[in-house]
A and B are shown apart, each in its own frame.
Chain A
Amino acid sequence: MLGNLADPMIYMLGFGYGLGHMLPDAFGTSYIAFIAAGTVCSSIMMSASFEAMYSGFSRMHMQKTWDAIMNAPISLDDILIAETTWAASKSLLSGCAVLLVAAALGLVKSWLAVWTIPVMLLTGLAFAGMGLVVTALAPSYDFFMYYFTLVITPMMMMCGVFFPTDQWPQALQQVAALLPLTHAVALVRPLMNDTVPVAWGMHLAMLALFAIISFQIALAFTRRRLLK
């Protein structure tokens, strides 16, 4: 839990205060408020991914906890639903903790920010599902590094966590528009800044799509891995 909280906090405060003074109101708000919203989303991404991959893999492969549970009247589908929900709720806690710190620093403008809670949960479900897909395919823990390096880190840069996506060339912006973190940021940032997000229905639908599709893929791969 400490890792899930301390890490995003350090980024938020470090960049926010360190860089913030050099970028006065460049983003329609203070830079630290801008980055606080990004950090809420990235902490959810990180925490859900870690839980679904490292902890999930431990329970599935190393400790054989899933095997034990499947000997009870519980199916693999139930276990996967539970893992996704667990990873999403753990990431929701991370997101809420960052949000509370941001609120304590006066970076949350109104009660509209309460609406970030369902957004955070949906974001957590999307990243938990994606993490479980990787877990289902992983031969060992080392495999997760590929996903972090090739998927998570680029999203961190491309999806508007540290700076607006319109800084990128058009082609990259189009790619970014297909990534789940972009939609989470597009919802959370205005909500924390007392604004109803533009096209919020579309962003929610994209997150929901990621959550549903990734879960179905994870289910198919895990069934193939464990029930054959």
Chain B
Amino acid sequence: MTYLSVHGVRKSYGEHEVVAGIDLELKPGECFGLLGPNGAGKTTTLRLCLGLTEPDAGTIRMFDLPVPVEARQARARAGVVPQIDNLDPDFTVAENLLVYGRYFGLADALLYARIPSLLEFAGLANRGDDNIKALSGGMKRRLTLARALINDPDLIFLDEPTTGLDPQARHLIWERLRNLLSQGKTIFLTTHFMDEAERLCHRLAIMDHGRVIVSGSPRELVRAHIEPQVVEIFGDGAEAWATAQGSRLSERCERTGETVFCYAHNVDALLHDLEQRPELHYLHRSANLEDVFLRLTGRDLRD
């Protein structure tokens, strides 16, 4: 059984093909992450899955219902946390949940019973009567997440759920999402935070220029696409050192901004060389998803 299946889906805006033929599958209970730089087509993919825009080609099914034809029925079992908060400023915190629940055709009695536990979940137990404008960014995000749960969905879509939040707020959201996964919910999230994807996702796909470049578990991707050891070198002369020594002592040597990244299976010789050079600062760590991401999507700035 799959909750969501996407096959050969394409979508163009004018000349620009934003989604250029992608395949995705989501099984119940898993957390799937769609990663990609800005403009890779993540949000458009999400809109296609929800039936908010029609694909030019390909098929989409959610809960085995064809999308967009029966997207409305499918959305009744889904929750969505959009990229930009769109809580209704005309209503209080609790009213936002109540009114949103009515959009699902849920009875007020059921909603009144559900709202206290959702406010608790969002850490807003005493804020039910507050105006939306009185909430911090993190609180709004948590309320948006609670709002997405008002219909007790099986599948939750999150579009960059922690963008713009401070570290405390991000950790709180992650904790809540893990909580949802342990309750058996299925999550589809887009992000460009690698630590977020690494922490939460069972499986992920990296997308660029409208295509899925690779997919797999975070560990598989790191193992398959990058050397295990990384040394980051910065400071005056880092570039000159990279040209003279770095490329010789490592398997791959790349530069982003003023930092040099050296990748290798064994970095002993490289570290030994660096210890003789006090003008250079360095950081030795194991390879992570960000290294994979940068390797596959390039180091150029995306606008």
Interface size, chain A (Cβ < 8 Å): 14
Tell me the bound Cα distance from A71 to B87 in angstroms: 12
* CB contact between A63 and one of B88, B103, B151 (< 8 Å): that residue: B88
The reply to whether B88 and A227 form a contact with Cβ atoms under 8 Å apart is no
The reply to whether B52 and A69 form a contact with Cβ atoms under 8 Å apart is no
| Cβ < 8 Å to B, chain A residues 59-99 | 63-65, 67-75
List the A side residues contacting B87 at CB < 8 Å. 68
The reply to whether A63 and B86 form a contact with Cβ atoms under 8 Å apart is yes
Given A65-B88, A227-B53, A228-B53, CB of A73 within 8 Å of CB of B82:
no
Given A65-B88, A228-B13, A228-B53, CB of A71 within 8 Å of CB of B80:
yes
Q: State whether the Cβ of B105 lies closer than 8 Å to any Cβ in chain A.
A: yes
The reply to whether A71 and B88 form a contact with Cβ atoms under 8 Å apart is no
Tell me the bound Cα distance from A150 to B262 in angstroms: 66
* CB contact between B86 and one of A67, A73, A74, A227 (< 8 Å): that residue: A67
List the B side residues contacting A227 at CB < 8 Å. 52-54
* CB contact between B88 and one of A68, A72, A75, A228 (< 8 Å): that residue: A68
The reply to whether B73 and A63 form a contact with Cβ atoms under 8 Å apart is no
Tell me the bound Cα distance from A63 to B86 in angstroms: 6
Closest to B100 in A: A72
List the B side residues contacting A70 at CB < 8 Å. 52
Tell me the bound Cα distance from A66 to B52 in angstroms: 12
Q: State whether the Cβ of B84 lies closer than 8 Å to any Cβ in chain A.
A: yes
Given A63-B86, A65-B86, A228-B13, CB of A72 within 8 Å of CB of B104:
yes
List the A side residues contacting B50 at CB < 8 Å. 71
* CB contact between B73 and one of A65, A68, A73 (< 8 Å): that residue: A73
Q: Apart from A67-B86, A68-B88, what are 12 other A-B pairs with CB-CB below 8 Å?
A: A64-B84, A65-B86, A68-B82, A70-B52, A71-B52, A72-B151, A73-B73, A73-B75, A73-B76, A73-B103, A74-B103, A228-B53
15 contacts between A and B (CB under 8 A): A63-B86, A63-B88, A63-B89, A65-B86, A71-B52, A71-B75, A71-B78, A71-B80, A71-B148, A72-B75, A73-B75, A73-B104, A227-B52, A227-B53, A228-B13
Query: Hey, which bits of chain B sit against chain A, CB under 8 A?
Result: 13, 50, 52-54, 72-73, 75-76, 78, 80, 82, 84, 86-89, 100, 103-105, 148, 151
Query: Hey, which bits of chain A sit against chain B, CB under 8 A?
Result: 63-65, 67-75, 227-228
